[in-house]
Chains A and B, each alone.
Chain A
């Protein structure tokens, strides 16, 4: 399985839950804590994200950044450079 990660800007998130609905892996849920605006924000609740970006696509507040595990390339060492 391809592994993914998401980071969610918790102070930007308004807890609308659309990302939770959009996630095919049910990886996301709402936090127990609230942010400065008073919203419970989206967090990863399961370590099964595939980096499909669906959550980021439906996020109305552009709060989600998505990463995906790199496919190993023969003869090339670990890459740290990431193109913007």
Chain B
């Protein structure tokens, strides 16, 4: 990327990371995916890991994640990102490997792969974007859809007798001995983005030390799926998602079973 023009008397304090490609992202306006992509590439840049990082993209809105990340990437089948990441990490243990999945991918069709990857303590970072809907296919109900939440496949609101309860898979994964660092973050405010970046930094540092699975849930928005403006969706996120999916660390090396 060309350096932005130098403004005399001013210094550059923020620009997009070099490892994020120039390709404009296909995400809807205000979608949290772009922020998470950028934060991840920022950390990879700052830690100098571009030449040794391999990502695994999912099926869902972020199926094209590899278009935006200037690193080696494999595109996995729906739900299988953590199995693909396992295959990569096992044969290239000195590389940094991450998987990137949404809620339908990681917590519905890929539940078995998710749980067993973490249970083996695969030395990878698993990034989990939870916005409570299947975005790419048009806003259908996900395992993390809130009770009463209307989606295209729960048009009258999610109801327990038919569709069970919001799956708190991150809490579940924190119980497994294979997970080393489990945290729930967001990306909707500047403060949240700073915390998310710290979590990504920590996770990759732990991976370099072979500590086991690091798992970051990012509770995010889906303005199109939720049928709201981006700003409204972030307010809704705080009011409705955070009470069910509270932010913070679920498991840290200092507090292994929080």
Query: Interface on A for B, CB 8 Å cutoff?
Result: 3-5, 7, 11-12, 14-18, 21-22, 39, 51-54, 56-70, 78-80, 82-84
Contact = CB atoms under 8 A, between A and B. Distances in A.
Nearest to B33: A60
B55 to A, nearest CB: 17
Given A53-B13, A58-B35, A17 B8 contact: no
Contact of B25 (A5, A18, A61, A67): A61
Nearest to A22: B190
A53 B14 contact: yes
Q: Report the 3 A-B pairs with minimum CB-CB distance, sorted nearest first.
A: A60-B34, A16-B30, A14-B29
Given A18-B234, A58-B35, A60-B25, A65 B16 contact: yes
B135 interface: no
Contact of B231 (A21, A39, A66, A84): A21
Nearest to B190: A54
B160 interface: no
B184 interface: no
B14 A82 contact: no
Given A67-B7, A82-B12, 19 more contacts: A5-B10, A7-B5, A15-B29, A18-B231, A21-B231, A22-B189, A57-B35, A57-B193, A58-B188, A60-B25, A60-B29, A60-B33, A63-B16, A65-B15, A66-B14, A66-B15, A82-B3, A83-B12, A84-B3
Contacts of B234: 18, 21
Interface residues of B, number: 40
A12 B189 contact: no
B20 interface: yes
B48 interface: no
A39 B8 contact: no
Nearest to B188: A58
Interface string B8-28: 111111111110100011011
Given A5-B7, A15-B29, A16-B29, A62 B12 contact: no
